[in-house]
């Protein structure tokens, strides 16, 4: 059984972090991209909880019910928020999956608090080159001039990357070795696993992002 999905507010210094929790088992933390909230992971999180993991999804400051100062934040500030969430569980260390901007937070957390992180999954991380089919699929997903069937097909291709990253996270969290994803799934997942990373100390905006906003859109063709 995946377990009941619930939400809690965790105090983190001058911030209050909204956390979605479900499942039971080894800890897996999922971090969303810039200006997104962790509800984007609803379907994938349910799958991972069913696979026997306790899935934590802390909302970044400014998203969901998370609050706290937003001016002058660094990656270390975001990482500290996540560290408090893991410590609150008293069941770490955790595997941390970071998507896009979230992977920078995951790297920073692994550097600042290696005692809380047993592995990192980088999903949709920065790369010098990407599969052109995946770039085209991403463009189709948001092109409302295309037929719905074509947009759905593109979305299925991108979801294959989420499944590949999810399988990698399950293997890590359960302490096993995971075979690398292959082909387009591998490219979509960008499943690079590290123990320690270098992390910048400049404002989060210098990492190619902006502070989270409360406005967001969902694509539901």
In a domain, 143, yes or no: no
- CATH number, residue 94: 3.40.50.1820
Residue 10 has pLDDT above 80, yes or no: yes
Residue 185 has pLDDT above 80, yes or no: no
Q: Is residue 1 part of a domain?
A: no
Question: Does residue 190 form part of some domain?
Answer: yes
Instruction: Domain count for the chain, please give it.
Output: 1
Q: Pick the residue with more confidence: 80 or 178? A: 80
Least confident of 43-52, 71-80, 123-132, 189-198: 189-198
Who wins on pLDDT, 174 or 139?
A: 139
Does residue 213 surpass a pLDDT of 80? no
CA distances from 34 to 51, 62, 143, 187, 195 (A): 27, 11, 21, 20, 23
pLDDT in tens, 57-111: 999 999 889 999 999 999 999 999 999 999 999 887 999 999 989 999 999 999 9
DSSP H helices in 63-193: 75-89, 101-112, 132-141, 148-173, 183-189
The mean per-residue pLDDT over the stretch 161-189 comes to 50
In a domain, 211, yes or no: no
The pLDDT confidence band at residue 219, using thresholds 50, 70 and 90, is very low
For residues 55 and 36, the model is more confident at 55
Instruction: Give domain status of residue 55, yes or no.
Output: yes
191 lies in some domain: yes
Whether residue 107 is contained in a domain is answered as: yes
Is residue 175 predicted with pLDDT exceeding 80?
no
Q: Is residue 144 part of a domain?
A: no
pLDDT at 143: 84
Half-sphere exposure of 217 (CA within 13 A, CB side): 5
What range defines the domain where residue 103 resides? 6-127+166-204
């Amino acid at each position: 059984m995946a377990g009941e999905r619930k939400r809690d507010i965790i105090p983190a210094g001058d911030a209050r972090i909204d956390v979605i929790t479900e499942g039971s088992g080894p800890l897996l933390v999922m971090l969303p991209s810039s200006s997104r909230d962790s509800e984007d992971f609803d379907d994938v999180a349910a799958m991972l909880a069913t696979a026997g993991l306790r899935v934590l999804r802390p909302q970044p400051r400014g998203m969901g019910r998370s609050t706290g100062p937003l001016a002058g934040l660094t990656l270390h500030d975001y990482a500290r928020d996540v560290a408090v969430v893991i410590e609150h569980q008293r069941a770490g260390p955790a595997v941390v999956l970071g998507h896009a901007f979230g992977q920078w937070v995951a790297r920073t957390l692994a550097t600042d608090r290696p005692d809380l992180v047993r592995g990192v999954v980088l999903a949709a991380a920065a790369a010098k080159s990407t599969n052109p089919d995946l770039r085209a699929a991403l463009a189709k997903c948001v092109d409302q001039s295309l037929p719905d069937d074509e947009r759905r097909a593109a979305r299925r291709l991108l979801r294959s990357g989420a499944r590949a990253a999810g399988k990698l996270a399950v293997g890590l969290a359960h302490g096993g070795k995971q075979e690398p994803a292959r082909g387009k799934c591998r490219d979509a997942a960008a499943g690079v696993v590290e123990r320690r990373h270098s992390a910048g100390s400049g404002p989060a905006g210098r990492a190619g992002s902006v502070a989270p906003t409360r406005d967001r859109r969902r694509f539901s063709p």
